[in-house]
Amino acid sequence: MATKELILEIGTEEIPTGFMQPAFDHLKNSITRGLRDQRIDHGDVVVMGTPRRLVCCVKAVADTTADVTEEVIGPAKRIAYDEQGRPTKAAEGFARSHKAKVEDLQIVETDRGEYVCVRRTTKGKSAMPALKALLPRVVDSIPFAKRMRWGDYDVRFARPVHWIVAVLGGKTIPFQFGAVKSGNRSRGHRFLAPKPFTVTSFSKYLKDSKARHVVVDHEERKATIRRQVTQLAKRHGGRILEDEDLLDEVTFLVEEPSVVLGSFDKRFLRLPDEVLITCMRSHQRYFAVVDGKGKLMPYFITVNNTKAKRPKEVARGNEYVLRARLADADFFYTEDQKKSLEHFVEALKDVLYQSKLGTSYEKVERFEKVATWMARKVDGEKKTKSVSRVAWLSKADLETQMIYEFPELQGFMGREYARIKGEPKEVSEGIYEHYQPKFVGDSLPKTFSGAVVSVADKVDTICGNFGIGVTPTSAGDPYGLRRQGAAVVAILLDKGFRISLGELVKKAISELGDKVELPRPQVTKEVLDFIRGRFAFLMTQQRNVRPDTVDAVLALGFDDVVDAAQRVEALSEWRQRADFEAITTAVKRVINILATSDKPGSVDPKRLAEPEEKRLHEMTLQVAGAVEKAEAQGKYKEALVQVAKLRPVIDKFFDGVLVMAEDEAVRANRIALLGQVAGLFSRLADFSRLQAA
């Protein structure tokens, strides 16, 4: 079977940087899946691209689909053949219905015994028709956060599509997407080499593109940018401030990178580093330069899409734009310091947080009370003063001019202004940290006050939204409640805060007062179930605990996050025992008997006649004491080790004792004994929910 190279290039207007990686992933997966479904053998699948093109190359694509052997099962052998081995009418009819000869029937072994079958092999066909149908589906299915239409065409894509290259072994695979017909002609750089050129092979395509000022391989572009900015910074006595996200972003802003160094007035270095970096990075996509000690230097580096003929003029233009941004930041920084933090807190009275939940000032009042209540529960009165102060000032910077202009600096500017105004470090750091974590994997608050206020703020947000019927759905979570719920769980675990979630939620709902529109018991239950779900997600997705392990622990209740995590981790480790399945089988046998019996009463030791039941009762009492002691000390793994000692005794009980004895009193007493055993296990987990490994 001959193989050829498949090349697909989708040429577009500039695609937003954040759209690129998901598009690459989907393109590779959908091409691979499509070829498999069409039975087309192939080699490696490579994806790459620039802002103006998505490219996929599939190596060693078979030019025909694979042969298919189909096996059709017919009647059982005993029906198809008589005792002398001669075919019956059933065999003849089956063969005739499938256009086969009786002598072509074969015998196969199935789960139900021996059956006759017909095997048919369908020869493969040319792959071209299958590819012609597959590729337009692949192009149309690429997901983007936003898709647009253009002209009168009934197709959608991230940006208008201008050309499509689709070739197999240099031969065009014909199809149409909107008004664009596929072909074998690509294009170079928009400004430097816009004329089309012919694509015959992938290696030549990459070479020809580079000759036309397009570096198609984004990993190569990224490495080039890294090398260029590093060398340029070094020539001026500095180094680039590491910023992998910015590097990824600019990689998808250019097709042929070229770097230029610019500078700014040293007087702006009086601004906090974060302000300078934000001005350069977030607004202009400039790389900051630092010296050997990590201190910002008055330089920046830009990445251009064309090589500058007059770099100094390009630098001058970039400097002009940045200077205006820095001048604004400098002005806002100076003006904000002329007002007190209390002034900004008071201004929150005019800021609407949510139409049904009141102003930002009201929100601060609510979670300040929740935070101080929580601080007392966790650590007495020691830090309630600093917690209260952090909560009260936490949103003050939202009304500063700096945050109006640079909203991404919220929290950071709150910390900076609090430090300038002489607030204690615990307070200034807590103001910054109460926003953490901002995303999955972000840092958690380090200070006690920051952690407590972060939890209080997020619980107020969750309870408030649930209280007015605004909850996350499969379609979306516009208020980020899932992220905030996960953050609450993560902080409680990280800090080891032993606090009742039920009490915390009820306190937050109480502070919301009449803003809660739904029945409070309903809201409380829904919020606790929601946080329970976030806990389960964290355990299964981030700590790689089996879902049934989490489910078995949470079935007993969920009020103390730290305690629940310790139980889950203990059970997860304990189930690695070699005799785990034997233990759960024994426990489930006990549970199954109890499920079909009346509610067990108390055990009467005097009615225990058989040695096996006496031994089980004796061991259960002995283990119960050890389990109770281990539980009281939070040693859940030790408690599980203790209950595991019952397994051989349970097995011997079932081997030597008839639970459902004819004597009703004896039967009831044995069921009571099993209830005692099940109750001991159920203190640690619902073992009926555990599945085989």
Question: What is 43-71 written as a DSSP string?
Answer: --EEEEEETTEEEEEEEEEESBPPPEEEE
- Residue-level pLDDT at 660: 87
- Residue-level pLDDT at 238: 96
- Give the helix/strand (H/E) hosting 312: helix 311-336
| Of the candidates 452, 527, 529, the residue with the CA atom closest to the CA atom of residue 491 | 452
**Helices 636-644/611-632 angle, 10° precision:** 180
- Whether omega for the bond prior to residue 437 falls within 30 degrees of 0, making it cis, is yes
- pLDDT > 70? residue 92: yes
- Residue-level pLDDT at 1: 62
3 state SS of 124: coil
Query: What is the maximum span of the chain, computed from C-alpha positions, in angstroms?
Result: 108
Task: Give the architecture-level CATH label for domain 577-689.
Answer: Orthogonal Bundle (1.10)
**Residues 587, 645: contact at Cβ < 8 Å?**
no
What are the angstrom distances between the C-alpha of 335 and each of 89, 245, 345, 396, 401? 100, 32, 16, 15, 8
- Residue-level pLDDT at 111: 82
- Take residue 169 and report the two structure tokens written for it: 């072994």
- Residue-level pLDDT at 46: 97
3 state SS of 546: coil
Q: Tell me the backbone φ, ψ of residue 62, rounded to 5 degrees.
A: -65, 140
What are the angstrom distances between the C-alpha of 118 and each of 85, 102, 524? 18, 9, 63
The residues with which 184 forms a beta bridge, in sequence order, are none
Q: How far is CA 600 from the centre of its chain?
A: 45
- Take residue 521 and report the two structure tokens written for it: 């018991």
Using one digit for the tens of pLDDT, what is the confidence trace for 15-32?
Answer: 999 999 999 999 999 999
- Take residue 71 and report the two structure tokens written for it: 């096996």
Instruction: Find which of 407-411, 577-581, 598-602 is predicted with most confidence, using mean pLDDT.
Output: 407-411
Whole-model pTM: value is: 0.81
The structure tokens 């498949």 sit at 6
**Residues 64, 168: contact at Cβ < 8 Å?**
no
3 state SS of 210: helix
- pLDDT > 80? residue 617: yes
- Residue-level pLDDT at 693: 64
- Listed by start position, the domains of the chain span 3-65+126-211, 69-122, 218-336, 343-544, 577-689
| Of the candidates 571, 541, 539, 546, the residue with the CA atom closest to the CA atom of residue 556 | 571
Q: Tell me the backbone φ, ψ of residue 641, rounded to 5 degrees.
A: -60, -40
- pLDDT > 90? residue 381: no
Residues 6+ apart with CB under 8 A from 317: none
Using one digit for the tens of pLDDT, what is the confidence trace for 100-158?
Answer: 899 889 999 888 889 999 988 878 888 999 999 999 999 999 999 899 998 888 899 99
Query: Whole-number mean pLDDT of the chain?
Result: 93
3 state SS of 360: helix
Using one digit for the tens of pLDDT, what is the confidence trace for 629-661?
Answer: 999 999 999 999 999 999 999 999 988 888 888
- pLDDT > 90? residue 526: yes
What mean pLDDT comes out for the span 477-492? 94
CB burial of 304-328 (b: ≥16 within 10 Å; e: otherwise) equals: bbbeeeeeeebbeebbeebbebbee
**Residues 340, 393: contact at Cβ < 8 Å?**
no
Count helices and strands in the chain by DSSP H and E runs: 26, 18
Long-range contacts at 473-481 (CB < 8 A, ≥ 24 apart): 481/530
Please give the Cα distance from 423 to 446 (Å, whole number): 17
The fold of the 3-65+126-211 domain, in CATH, is Alpha-Beta Plaits (3.30.70)
- Take residue 82 and report the two structure tokens written for it: 């008589």
- pLDDT > 90? residue 2: no
Using one digit for the tens of pLDDT, what is the confidence trace for 149-191?
Answer: 988 888 999 999 999 999 999 999 999 999 999 999 999 999 9
Q: How far is CA 250 from the centre of its chain?
A: 24
- Residue-level pLDDT at 661: 85
Using one digit for the tens of pLDDT, what is the confidence trace for 501-518?
Answer: 999 999 999 999 999 999
**Helices 273-284/311-336 angle, 10° precision:** 130
Please give the Cα distance from 299 to 319 (Å, whole number): 10
What mean pLDDT comes out for the span 597-623? 89
| Of the candidates 223, 225, 303, the residue with the CA atom closest to the CA atom of residue 262 | 303
- Take residue 590 and report the two structure tokens written for it: 């006990």
What are the angstrom distances between the C-alpha of 220 and each of 224, 255, 578? 6, 11, 50
Please give the Cα distance from 276 to 264 (Å, whole number): 10
- Residue-level pLDDT at 364: 97
Residues 6+ apart with CB under 8 A from 442: 436
- Residue-level pLDDT at 380: 84
The fold of the 343-544 domain, in CATH, is Hypothetical protein af1432 (1.10.3210)
- Residue-level pLDDT at 514: 94
**Residues 266, 298: contact at Cβ < 8 Å?**
yes
What mean pLDDT comes out for the span 582-591? 91
Question: How would you write 488-529 as a 3-class SS string?
Answer: HHHHHHHHCCCCCHHHHHHHHHHHHHHHCCCCHHHHHHHHHH
- Take residue 574 and report the two structure tokens written for it: 């304990």
